[in-house]
Structure 1
Amino acid sequence: MPHSTATPIRMSPCAANTLNPIRKLVDHLVIKPNPDKEFLRLSIGDPSIFGNFNPPPELINAVAEQLQTSCYGYAPAHGLVNAREAIADYYTTDASPVTFNDVFITSGCSDALRICIDAVGSSERNILLPCPGFSVYQTICGNRGVESRFYNLDPDKDWEIDLDHMRSQLDENTAAILVTNPSNPCGSAFTKQHMLDILKVAEEYGVPIIADEIYHKMVFNGESHSFGELSRNVPIISCGGLAKRWLVPGWRVGWIIVHDRHQQLSEVRTGITRLCQVIIGSNTLIQAAIPQILATVPQSFYSETLTKLNFAANLLYTELCEVPELKPCMPQGAMYMMVKLQLDELFDIETDMEFVEKLISEQSVFLLPANIFGMDGWVRIVLTVPDDILRDACNRIATFCQEHSTKRCTEKKKAIEEL
């Protein structure tokens, strides 16, 4: 018998356990900006927003030429062979050769991460995640019922991993260690020695590393290494894509590269192939353009991008170091800077979220509170903003901090009492 009244239909546990903290904050923010000031968004890591970071013409031409071909149908679920061959050649080094059989093409790097976590994780196992770290990692684990455990990064050591703390989180049920390098949100880039030390811990405990390397080679100074090229004994499942280095996050093409010198990941490879079949492959038009993109984009494009990002980082760091209530950390790569809030020097602000909300309402500047990355008392600022907007934002942030400084408020209160 049908019900006489409509009965609410419950969402699934999978949906209920799916939460992206960044999207929740950005999509549901109810704080109104100051209507007298232009709203400055320094919150989202999309380099295409302001028009000052654009993809190179060689990349656009590569896609345009593919429009004249027959890239209209399905491709193999784990990617076109010629695209996988091009990616393999691009990442191959003398120390770490890669073949097309090691490459799986995905719908963006976040999809690559989802597949990797699905391929090794389960409700009985845990995966170690960085803290602070990109919130999507926890979103994927929570959606799948995989336990998230967190290891600390040390801001006083350029956000290196606290290896002793990492060891304390490992046990016999650990499926993998997820490492981000260069880092979102920290803007850090590990030294070769630190990467080798991380690999030593993973080898000691016999666990693979899932390496989020979407910002690979986006290092301002010095060399850039991948875990796959450095590892001799630890299996590495590396995730990358076109989004950041080529400045096209909306094209949604990423990849997984399996580095497995001792054939420990045979079952996992099968699992990755099967998981790629869930959405029957990524965008075939962009896939088909990958060989030409990787072959024709000049080094000057990558160098110019890094020069602009480094300039923005230095500008932000120099300006914010002048604000007593803030302690910026100079980034070494990627597209972000983390800034510590000296909350004991702010009169009426107790949390990073409160700082962000009041900064929006008073100065119309939007930063991300780092509590969504697992780090209370910090904010994250993106570097892909035009220089004039960055300077304006810095001036507004400095004004805001001065107006809320404990010292200023105490002096003001004392002056009023003396009247």
Structure 2
Amino acid sequence: MGVFGSTVPVLTLGSISKRWIVPGWRLGWFVTSDPSGMFRKPKVVERIKKYFDILGGPATFIQAAVPQILKQTDEVFFKKTINILKQTSDICCDRIKEIPCIHCPQKPEGSMALMVKLNISLLADIGDDIDFCFKLAKEESVIILPGTAVGLTNWLRITFAVDPSSLEEGLGRLKSFCHRHAKQL
């Protein structure tokens, strides 16, 4: 993205948790390409650095692991990861189509999760997305983030950054749960 820096300032973000698929390893970086100095005038970079200072640092073992992770990860790992995410994205979207109370308006491209709309009116004893997620976790041991957590009431955030067989099993449990709680017509 840095090639666009001569036209517009570019801020590139990266992280261990996303690139290497290790959730919870909150260690990242940002790089600027700003030959015209537009980020310096309003002190954008300094403000971002202050924000990161508030967050605190990652665990010591994560810090110790990073140099080896960066040095020893072969490009094949990233290609394999992209292929698996493509496969699991397809599985997720296909299985969601089989569940009447859940709708996926947009197939994800370049992510590890998708947002789906939950139609509460098709469910008998579910009040909202939070109620749905709590009951799903209790009854099926499947954890999905309620959309309310990211400001979207009656949406769900489903992560598909898992091996395909585990995803198939989890989505099968989700489907069973939805059928069990469906309103009887």
Smaller-chain TM-score bracket: 0.7 to 0.9
What's the CA shift for 1:281?
Answer: 8.1
Query: Which letter maps to 1:351?
Result: D
TM-score normalised by length of structure 2? 0.78
CA deviation profile, 1:111-132 (whole Å, cap 9, x unmatched)? xxxxxxxxxxxxxxxxxxxxxx
- In structure 1, distance between residues paired with 2:157 and 2:57: 33
Match in the other structure for 2:46: 271
Query: Which letter maps to 1:341?
Result: L
What's the CA shift for 1:341?
Answer: 1.0
Unaligned 5+ residue runs, structure 2? none
- Judge conservation of contact 1:251–1:286 (CA < 8 Å) in 2: no
With a CA cutoff of 8 Å and minimum separation of 6, indicate the structure with the bigger relative contact order. Answer: 1
1:372 matches 2:146: no
* Compared CA separation, residues 365 and 248, structure 1 to 2 (3 A): closer
Unaligned 5+ residue runs, structure 1? 1-225, 411-419
CA deviation profile, 1:123-181 (whole Å, cap 9, x unmatched)? xxxxxxxxxxxxxxxxxxxxxxxxxxxxxxxxxxxxxxxxxxxxxxxxxxxxxxxxxxx
What's the CA shift for 1:250?
Answer: 5.7
What's the CA shift for 1:372?
Answer: 0.8
CA deviation profile, 1:258-296 (whole Å, cap 9, x unmatched)? 221311222527726974995898777456557x62xx5
TM-score normalised by length of structure 1? 0.37
1:238 matches 2:12: yes
In terms of fraction of residues, the more helix-rich structure is: 2
**Residue correspondences, number:** 179
- Correspondence list, 1:9-408, <5 A: 226=1, 228-230=2-4, 232-248=6-22, 252-266=26-40, 268=43, 271=46, 275=50, 285=64, 288-289=67-68, 293=71, 297-328=73-104, 329-406=106-183
- In structure 2, distance between residues paired with 1:270 and 1:400: 47
- In structure 1, distance between residues paired with 2:144 and 2:96: 14
* Compared CA separation, residues 298 and 378, structure 1 to 2 (3 A): same
CA deviation profile, 1:48-89 (whole Å, cap 9, x unmatched)? xxxxxxxxxxxxxxxxxxxxxxxxxxxxxxxxxxxxxxxxxx
- In structure 2, distance between residues paired with 1:277 and 1:373: 21
- Judge conservation of contact 1:241–1:254 (CA < 8 Å) in 2: yes
Query: Which letter maps to 1:234?
Result: V
Bigger shift: residues 363-372 or 328-337: 328-337
- Judge conservation of contact 1:233–1:261 (CA < 8 Å) in 2: no
What's the CA shift for 1:376?
Answer: 1.3
**Higher Cα radius of gyration:** 1
Query: Which letter maps to 2:101?
Result: E
* Compared CA separation, residues 244 and 400, structure 1 to 2 (3 A): same
Match in the other structure for 1:17: none
- In structure 1, distance between residues paired with 2:66 and 2:45: 22
The CA RMSD over aligned residues, in Å, is 3.2
- In structure 2, distance between residues paired with 1:276 and 1:400: 41
**Identity among equivalent pairs (%):** 29
- In structure 2, distance between residues paired with 1:399 and 1:271: 50
